[in-house]
């Protein structure tokens, strides 16, 4: 049984339409794959993720958390406990946050004091110095990371209401023994730092 020209033409036209429909569907599918859905809710944005992270705000160090240690040595910050007659000691301290979290602490010169004693007598106190213009300085104390102050030279003199530096009477030397204490923002050093002036 032979097909007429009309039947052959109809079959070819149907086949061409099917092929055309498949090509259109394929192109539409590929373009949709690369274009994406366009739905802004489909993936969480970076800003939403960042906003979800907790931000810890630094607070003042709690009482008893900061440890102050007094030191005496050279201007270069090397500890020394004995001094020749020609040498002037330098004083400094370290502040350590003994807690588990970083905190804020005032280490400014306005709230920092050194005291030098021998026996029951106070020979020198930085409270007697001219403290005009000294300011606060609040810093972040990292947990268990000591913060060291800059060494400051002591001229081996007494202090009084008249001052604490040049022009004041000299302290005893020739093997005299002294102790130094530091106080920073109300926290007093607990270490016993003894030194000798020859």
| Per-residue confidence band for 140, with pLDDT thresholds at 50, 70 and 90 | very high
**Taking a C-beta distance cutoff of 8 angstroms, is the pair 137, 149 a contact?**
no
**Taking a C-beta distance cutoff of 8 angstroms, is the pair 125, 164 a contact?**
yes
Average pLDDT value over all residues in the chain:
86
Q: Which two tokens stand for residue 111?
A: 């709230």
Q: Look at domain 66-197 and name its CATH class.
A: mainly beta
CA–CA gap between residue 188 and residue 98 (Å, rounded): 15
Ordered by start, the domain boundaries in the chain are: 66-197
Instruction: Say whether pLDDT at 1 is over 90.
Output: no
Q: Tell me which residue of 6, 194, 159 sits closest to 89, measured CA to CA.
A: 194
Contacts for 193 with CB less than 8 Å, ≥ 6 apart: 69, 70, 71, 72, 179, 180, 181
Q: Is 0.85 surpassed by the pTM of this model? A: no
| Per-residue confidence band for 192, with pLDDT thresholds at 50, 70 and 90 | confident
Mean pLDDT of 26-41: 52
pLDDT (tens digit, 9 = 90+) per residue, 159-190? 999 999 999 999 999 999 999 999 999 999 99
């Amino acid at each position: 049984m032979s097909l007429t020209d009309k039947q052959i033409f109809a079959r070819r036209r149907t086949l061409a339409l099917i092929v055309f429909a498949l090509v259109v569907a394929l192109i539409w599918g590929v373009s949709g794959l690369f274009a994406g859905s366009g739905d802004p809710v489909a993936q969480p944005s970076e800003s939403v993720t960042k906003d979800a992270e907790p931000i810890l705000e630094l607070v003042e160090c709690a009482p008893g958390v900061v440890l102050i240690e007094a030191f005496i040595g050279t201007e270069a910050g090397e500890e020394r406990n004995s001094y020749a007659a020609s040498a002037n000691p330098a004083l400094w301290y370290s502040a350590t946050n003994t807690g588990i979290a970083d905190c804020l602490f005032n280490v400014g010169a306005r709230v920092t004091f050194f005291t030098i004693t021998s026996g029951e007598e106070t020979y020198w106190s930085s409270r007697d110095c001219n403290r005009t213009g000294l300011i606060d300085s609040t810093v972040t104390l990292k947990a268990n990371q000591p913060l060291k102050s800059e060494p400051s030279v002591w001229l081996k003199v007494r202090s009084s209401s008249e001052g604490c530096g040049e022009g004041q009477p000299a302290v005893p030397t020739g093997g005299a023994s002294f102790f130094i204490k530091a106080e920073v923002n109300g926290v007093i050093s607990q270490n016993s730092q003894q030194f000798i002036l020859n």
